[in-house]
């Protein structure tokens, strides 16, 4: 490793300095450490319960490069296993979803049931196995830890991490703000989209909470919003991701919370009447109270570190990040929706979702072009430091501000200011956590 990991962050609070070294994005040895300490060594999002709703449903995914499979057995119990046949190591389930009571390995047809237990070894009677064979486990190996927070499923390949509740901490409050939109919770709308970009995964982490880029990276989208505003009858897709009115409501305020363990959230005020929940607000208010209802109407860009992003605005998008190499990242995106949502509201939600997000949307391609440009550009020049992290620093508070207090959370850092401040200081608690974990410590 050419660097001490700590030297990748220039963090001098007394001087009002915070910078990130380009090798955090460019160095393959840093990437190898991230895989080991963040993706194999901690809690990582694996799937949503709505993808494995019925008995014998399964969902095969990869945590960075380790294939795992989430299964629901015949009694309704969920488990998460290494997707590896105990015979010679074949993938037992192909990537994706399915429903099977039994999984026969495609290679030599050893069979496990939907609880991961081996139920058959082909031609067992004639096998003449050595004495040791019978003492081996022939079923799927459970991952070291598996947890379910309100339908969001997380796994850890390492037995040494904290409980899922401890890991999520205050991030649970923001998951609640999503799940409580319906008395029956939320579901992934069928039809996820997966794409890759040739850049480091952390550009995606940073961009989702980067309000600063919105007006300059997405001008064609903003022009389109303007045109729609002049001919509103032509479309029912009206809302932008950061603002309700395509950048004109500059008096809006914004804020950010840096939570423990690298989770972070950026919020902005948005016109409540454009939110899909607005029509049914009285019932939601009764269930969650006035304060939480107000927070549900706010635009929230939320990272559950390291691989889950939930963007809440007129639509609700979930992204799952899978780093493939230091300069290659896969993203899978889904529309999230309240269970039992009226048909017309679901239709509007889907149109909003398709409009902005995904490779075919009006904004995601702009962003991915920026990530690839960043990856190339960061290698140039004699100054190794990225200036990201400085904006908003003078307003950054240690601990909770009034907005955090009304939600009852205890963040490491809170920021609040006009929308145009477009805080970037929220990167500081994220990268402090990143440095701690890459250096081998437990994060705070
Ligand atoms: S590798 Fe699975 S049965 Fe042989
Ligand atoms: Fe963007």
Whole-number Å distance, alpha carbon 91 to ligand 2 midpoint, is: 36
Testing ligand 1's pocket by substitution, the residue of 82, 105, 139 carrying the most ligand atoms inside 8 A of its CB is 105
pLDDT at 247: 46
Parallel/antiparallel/unpaired status of strands 9-12 and 17-21: antiparallel
pLDDT recorded at residue 61: 96
Q: Which residue, by CA, sits nearest to atom 4 of ligand 1?
A: 108
Please give the Cα distance from 338 to 7 (Å, whole number).
Answer: 44
pLDDT bucket at 64, cuts 50 / 70 / 90:
confident
Predicted local distance difference test score (pLDDT) of residue 354: 87
Which numbered ligand comes closest to the C-alpha of 222?
2
Tell me how far the alpha carbon of residue 317 lies from the centroid of ligand 2, in angstroms.
13
Helix (H, G, I), strand (E, B) or coil at 361: coil
Least confident of 88-92, 121-125, 340-344: 340-344
pLDDT reading at 129 higher than 80: yes
Query: In sequence order, what are the residues at sequence separation of 6 or more whose Cβ sits closer than 8 angstroms to the Cβ of residue 88?
Result: 107, 108
| Residue 64 structure tokens | 């960075």
Q: What is the mean pLDDT of the chain?
A: 91
Residues contacting ligand 1 via CB (< 6 Å): 85, 87-88, 90, 105, 107-110
Domains, the chain, ranges and CATH? 44-149 (2.102.10.10), 170-438 (3.90.380.10)
Residue 337: name the closest of 98, 59, 48 by CA. Answer: 48
Q: Tokens representing 121?
A: 């070894």
> How confident is residue 237, by pLDDT bands cut at 50, 70 and 90?
low
pLDDT at 444: 44
Give nearest CA residue, ligand 1 atom 3. 108
Among 27-36, 186-195, 355-364, name the one with the lowest average pLDDT.
Answer: 355-364
The 10s digit of each residue's pLDDT in 238-282 is 555 554 444 444 457 899 999 999 999 999 988 888 787 888 899
Contact 384, 23 (CB under 8 A): yes
Q: Do 18 and 11 contact (CB within 8 A), yes or no?
A: yes
Could you give the CA distance from residue 104 to residue 119 in angstroms, rounded to a whole number?
10
Cα of 74 to ligand 2 centre, how many Å?
Answer: 43
Q: Of the given ranges (120-134, 144-158, 292-306, 347-361), which has the lowest mean pLDDT?
A: 347-361
* pLDDT above 50 (res 2): no
Tokens of 119: 């139920």
Residue nearest to ligand 1 atom 1, measured at CA: 88
Report pLDDT for 400.
97
- Write 179-185 long-range contacts (CB < 8 A, 24+): 179/150, 179/151, 180/284, 180/287, 180/288, 180/292, 180/296, 181/277, 181/284, 181/296, 181/338, 182/338, 182/339, 182/340, 182/341, 183/287, 184/338, 184/339, 184/340, 185/150, 185/151, 185/338, 185/339
Averaged pLDDT for residues 60-86:
95
Look at residue 442 and tell me whether its pLDDT is greater than 80. Answer: no
Ligand with minimal distance to 90 CA: 1
Ligand nearest to the Cα of 120, by number: 1
Ligand 1 pocket: which of 107, 119, 120, 122 to mutate (most atoms within 8 A of CB): 107
78-82/102-104 β-pairing:
unpaired
- Pairing status of strand 9-12 against strand 66-72: unpaired
Rounded CA gap, 323 and 307, in Å?
A: 9
Using left for φ > 0, alpha for ψ between -120 and 50, and beta otherwise, residue 416 falls in beta
Probe residue for ligand 1, chosen from 69, 81, 84, 87 as the CB with the greatest number of ligand atoms within 8 Å: 87
* Least confident span in 18-32, 180-194, 345-359: 345-359
Residue 361 — pLDDT band, cuts 50, 70, 90?
A: confident
Q: Is the pLDDT of residue 233 over 70?
A: no
Local confidence band at 107 (pLDDT 50, 70, 90 cut-offs): very high
Could you tell me if 155 and 143 are in contact, meaning their C-beta atoms sit under 8 angstroms apart? yes
Residue 235, CA distances (Å) to 144, 246, 313, 381 in order: 49, 15, 18, 46
CA 122 to ligand 1 centroid distance, Å: 10
pTM for the predicted model, two decimal places = 0.94
Structure-model confidence comparison of residues 175 and 389, the more confident one: 175
Question: Percent of the chain beyond pLDDT 70?
Answer: 94
Which of 257, 262, 259 shows the shortest CA–CA distance to 442?
262
Write down the pLDDT at residue 234.
56
Question: If you measure from the C-alpha of residue 78 to the centroid of ligand 2, how many angstroms do you get, rounded to a whole number?
Answer: 36
Which tops the pLDDT comparison, 421 or 373? 373
- Please give the pLDDT value at position 351: 87
Q: Specify the DSSP class assigned to residue 142.
A: B
Neighbours of 345 (CB within 10 A): 16
pLDDT higher for 360 or 319? 319
* Most informative mutation of 82, 88, 104, 140 for ligand 1 (most atoms within 8 A of CB): 88
Strand blocks (E) in 175-220: 186-188, 193-197
């Amino acid at each position: 490793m050419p660097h001490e990991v700590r030297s990748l962050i220039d963090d001098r609070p007394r001087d009002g300095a915070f910078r990130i070294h380009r090798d955090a994005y460019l160095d393959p040895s840093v990437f190898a450490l991230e895989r080991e300490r963040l993706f194999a060594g901690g809690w990582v999002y694996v799937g949503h319960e709505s993808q494995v709703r019925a008995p014998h449903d399964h969902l095969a995914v990869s945590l960075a490069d380790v294939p795992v499979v989430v299964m629901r057995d015949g009694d309704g119990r969920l488990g998460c296993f290494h997707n590896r046949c105990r015979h010679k190591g074949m993938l037992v389930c192909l990537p994706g979803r399915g429903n099977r009571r039994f999984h026969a390995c495609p290679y030599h047809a050893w069979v496990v049931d939907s609880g991961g237990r081996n139920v058959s070894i082909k031609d067992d009677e004639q096998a003449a196995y050595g004495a040791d064979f019978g003492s081996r486990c022939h079923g799927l190996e459970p991952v070291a830890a598996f947890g379910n927070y309100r339908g969001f499923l997380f796994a850890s390949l390492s037995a040494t991490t904290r409980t899922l509740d401890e890991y999520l901490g205050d991030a649970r409050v923001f998951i609640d703000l999503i799940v409580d939109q319906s008395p029956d919770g939320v579901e992934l709308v069928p039809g996820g989209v997966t794409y890759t970009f040739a850049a480091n995964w952390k550009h995606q982490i940073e961009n989702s909470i980067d309000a600063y880029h919105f007006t300059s990276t997405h001008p064609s989208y903003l022009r389109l919003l303007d045109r729609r505003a002049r001919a509103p009858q032509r479309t029912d897709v009206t809302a932008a991701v950061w603002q309700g009115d395509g950048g004109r409501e500059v008096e809006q305020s914004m804020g950010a919370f840096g939570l423990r363990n690298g989770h972070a959230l950026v919020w902005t005020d948005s016109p409540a009447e454009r939110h899909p929940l607005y029509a049914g607000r009285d019932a939601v208010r009764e269930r969650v109270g006035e304060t939480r209802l107000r927070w549900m109407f706010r635009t929230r860009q939320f990272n559950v570190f390291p691989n889950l992003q939930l963007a809440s605005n007129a639509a609700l998008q979930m992204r799952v990040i899978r780093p493939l190499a230091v300069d290659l990242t896969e993203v899978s995106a889904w529309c999230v929706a309240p269970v039992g949502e009226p048909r017309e509201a679901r239709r509007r939600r889907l149109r909003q979702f398709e409009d902005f997000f995904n490779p075919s949307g009006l904004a995601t391609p702009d962003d991915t072009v920026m990530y690839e440009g960043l990856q190339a550009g960061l290698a140039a020049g004699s100054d190794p430091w990225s200036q990201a992290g400085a904006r908003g620093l003078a307003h950054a508070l240690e601990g909770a501000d009034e907005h955090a207090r009304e939600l009852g959370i205890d963040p490491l850092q809170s920021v609040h200011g006009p929308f145009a401040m477009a805080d970037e200081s929220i990167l500081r608690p994220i990268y402090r956590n990143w440095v701690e974990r890459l250096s081998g410590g437990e994060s705070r």
